[in-house]
Structure 1
Amino acid sequence: MKLIYLYTNLNWYRLSLFKSISKIMDVHVVILNGYEVGYQGVEYKPDYQGLNITFLSEEDSHFSKLTSILDQENFDGIVVPSMNSAFYLDLTTRLSHYYHKKGKTVLYFWEYWPMDVGKESISKWFKQQIRHIYTRLNRRSIDYFITPSMNTYSFYQRMNIPSEKLIRCCNVSEVEECEADIQIIRNELGIPNDHKIVLFFGRLESYKGAAELITCFSKLQNQKWHLLICGPGSETVQPLANNAPNIHFVGSVKPENRAMYYSAANLFVLANTYKGKVEPWGLTVNEAMSFSLPILATNATGSAIDLVFSGINGYVIDASKLEKELPYYIEKILSDDELEKIFGKNSKMIISNYTFDHMAEAFKAAVEKGLIQ
């Protein structure tokens, strides 16, 4: 049983998925559009030794050339690319119809779900509608939709995609655990051992909510609590901190160093807003939970509905009420050592049920279903 997986980059979390799939079936990963290995300014050298991976140029990624390359292989299923641009709307549609007619099992995997009506701009609304039209157009030629979140699952149901075509699997990201010395981070940033750390990981784009987090955190005025902002683009939000000594801008963090920051933290916050887009998933939530951290995430975060249970391992905050709710819940958790400990323990227990091997099984099950039909 062989799977062709068409993808657009080689982030570490997808690399781990490819490795898990390769343990249970033959998989050929094809990276499209002349992708150059790297990650947002971070020196990133992925270890894909042992995997069957091919990097195609932009020219070879167009439909006619791509199919001529793929047709040289004998395979059972194919994962078509996410429809996240005009190019991929066209390519994925043509590939889906082409390989469905050839009797291959066509799979589609993406975390996408739309913003609620009224929260998007006119241009965003228009783009969403185009994507929805293409989703409906492809629902017959795509045999199975791998749905990584309940938000995505609900979206496909609204697109009238039959439930038998929807295969659930929770999105996964794992940070390689190591003997992380939390003292290194505290020493570098001058944070005493009896002080607490709130952690943010992500690109500092407006919809990620870093600006709102900084503003809300500043209101707490507790010098024994520190906010760590990790991710590229800190120059866009750094002025909001007003040079506060307990707000630290770390910049991009190499994948192999992420564990040190999660290990040093007491609370993880992903305060996504509805500014321009929603967070399709938010893999940093998975990562933080694996390090036994309580979680604060908004309802604009895709993973919140699947992984964050209010009063169990953190709280889901209304993205429209950040100014009121975010300071309240940060203070609630950091002021109660026992609550922080219980939430962290529950996070670890919840996330232990979701692994790359579980994700890989969903892809295998889809291909097997296609072979039976």
Structure 2
Amino acid sequence: MHLVVLFHNVGGYHAARLRATHAVCKTNGWTFTALQVVGQTQEHPWGNLANVITFPLQTILDTDQSKSADQDRLVRSRLSAILDHIQPDVMAIPGWGFVASRKALSWCRRHRVPTILMSESKADDEPRHWWKEVLKSWLYVRHYDSALVGSRLHADYAVSLGIPSDRVFRGYDVVDHDYFVAEAEQARHNPDAVRQQQPQIPCRPYFLAVTRFIPRKNVSRLINAYHAYRQQVAEPWDLVLCGSGIEADNLQQQAQHLKLDAWVKFPGFVPYTVIAHWYGLAKALIHPALQEQWGLVVNEACAAGLPIICSDTVGARYDLVHSDKNGFLFNPNSTDDLTRCLVALHQLEETQRQHWGERSRAIASSYRPENFAEGMLQAADKALNHARYAMDIINM
């Protein structure tokens, strides 16, 4: 049995999931292949991942050519050629919005290969129009044989689009939990050595946000809330904003205008290979997004043992953030509500903050790569059985 898993681009957390899946496939006597549409992207420069990609991986395009009119044509033709060559018996495909996803689904339907939908879409991601939902369901979603999703919210949405609930499995949104535990603890035990290697990490206590600088990530409101927070507490912490994006210049200008230059830090994009050290030396993670399908940085920060301040629209909110137990939830449209959470977390006793961080780690321990692999094989078995049943009906 040959399982093929397609991603747009294999980064650090994808690699962890795929390693675990490869291991389970080997245990079960299955063949495994990972496919990625592009090998390098500007949006996610993951850094050198050669040591963590220990599974068969094929790449359709070496670099992202999204500005080229020929990219879609190249993806379609090369993906078809690869699938013709490797001949999957069951294939996991990320959603329906990518050209590669739709092409893979079409190829599998044509060759009667069972398919697994990998999805972290939920109903409240954006305003939904009934006629678009009907088209989405009939053109794409109903043709999948099973699904692997992250949360209950994702499962509910997949069911609403036509996948029976008994064919929907959990475990999609995981990270390499043990890696973030180990690296964060290393940073705490050797902070001077870590800061010598990464001098941009502040020596003062700091809140941390790891995000992209685009409007829906809501970083501008976070800066305003941080400005208000500084006026309400003694000895306020710094704010570190790791990331890059189209709003970077505007956000830095905003911090300058509010005279926050000395306390709001913009270290740029911090690669996967070292980001755990930034978690390890932080006081808490803030995830301020207006909308987020899941939020894997919450997994990472929980594994690193941090309390969490999280928007109540983030997909991981019910799973990973338990209000007043390991963090706070807030309304991302309210600067005052976010300020309240910053002040409240700052004012906790240090022992309680540590207890919340320990609770975060315990919660996140159920979201490991092995959970992805287990869910994937359950979804594969269900897809294969459903496809066989459908063929039996056709052949009656």
TM-score (norm 1): 0.85
What letter matches 2:20 in structure 1? S
In structure 2, the partner of 1:106 is: 115
The structural deviation recorded for 1:17 is 1.1
AA aligned opposite 2:383: G
Aligned counterparts of 1:46 and 1:216: Cα–Cα separation in 2? 36
Instruction: Could you tell me which runs of 5 or more consecutive residues in structure 2 were left unpaired when the two chains were aligned.
Output: 26-30, 62-70, 389-396
Give identity over the alignment, percent.
Answer: 20
Q: Which segment is superposed worse, 49-58 or 340-349? A: 49-58
Distance 1:56 1:89 in 2: 13
Q: In the alignment, which residue of structure 2 is the partner of 1:53? A: 57
Alpha carbons 1:147, 1:166 under 8 Å: kept: yes
Query: What SS does the aligned partner of 2:313 have?
Result: coil
Q: Distance in 2 between matches of 1:167 and 1:6?
A: 18
Q: Distance in 2 between matches of 1:257 and 1:79?
A: 30
Aligned partner of 1:133: which letter?
Answer: L
1:334-345 alignment runs, 5 A limit: 334-337=346-349, 338-345=351-358
Match of 1:265 among 282, 290, 294: 282
- What is the aligned partner in structure 2 of residue 206 from structure 1? 215
Instruction: For 1:156 and 1:231, locate their aligned partners in 2 and report how far apart those are by CA, in whole Å.
Output: 31
Paired AA for residue 267 in structure 1 = A
Following TM superposition, by how much is the alpha carbon of 1:71 offset from its aligned partner in structure 2, in angstroms?
3.0
Q: How far apart are residue 292 of structure 1 and its match?
A: 0.8
* Matching of residue 154 in structure 1 with residue 156 in structure 2: yes
Post-superposition offset of 1:54:
1.2
Cα deviation for residue 335 of structure 1 reads 0.8
> Shift of residue 261 of structure 1?
0.6
- The change in CA–CA distance for 1:202 and 1:161 in structure 2 (over 3 A counts) is same
Aligned match of 2:267:
250
Structure 1 residue 346: Cα displacement: 0.7
Distance 1:80 1:290 in 2: 27
Out of 195, 199, 224, the residue aligned to residue 188 of structure 1 is 199
CA distance in 2, matches of 1:265, 1:29: 34
251, 264, 278: which one aligns with 1:237: 251
2:377 to 345, 355, 364: 364
* Structure 2: distance between partners of 1:352 and 1:296: 19
Which digits, 9 at most, give the CA deviation of each residue in 1:120-144, with x for residues without a partner?
Answer: 4xxxx56x96466223433442110
Q: Which residue of 2 aligns with 1:24?
A: 24
Identify which of 95, 108, 119 aligns with 1:82.
95
Q: Normalized against structure 2, the TM-score is what?
A: 0.81
2:85 is paired with a residue whose SS is coil
Determine the C-alpha separation between the residues in 2 that align with 1:314 and 1:139: 35
Unmatched segments (≥5 aa) in structure 1: none
- Whether 1:351 and 2:364 are equivalent positions in the alignment is yes
Question: Would you say the 8 A contact 2:220–2:251 is kept in 1?
Answer: yes
Cα pair 1:149 1:302 within 8 Å, conserved = yes
State the AA in 1 paired with 2:226. Answer: F
2:8 corresponds in structure 1 to 8
Q: For 1:369 and 1:161, how far apart are their aligned partners in 2?
A: 12
Q: Is the 8 A contact 1:38 1:44 kept in 2?
A: no
Deviation at 1:89, TM superposition (A): 6.5
* CA distance in structure 2 between the aligned counterparts of 1:129 and 1:44, rounded to whole angstroms: 42
- For the residues of structure 2 that align with 1:167 and 1:220, how far apart are their CA atoms? 41
- Root-mean-square deviation over aligned CA pairs: 2.6
Inter-CA distance 77–41: structure 2 relative to 1 (3 Å threshold) = closer
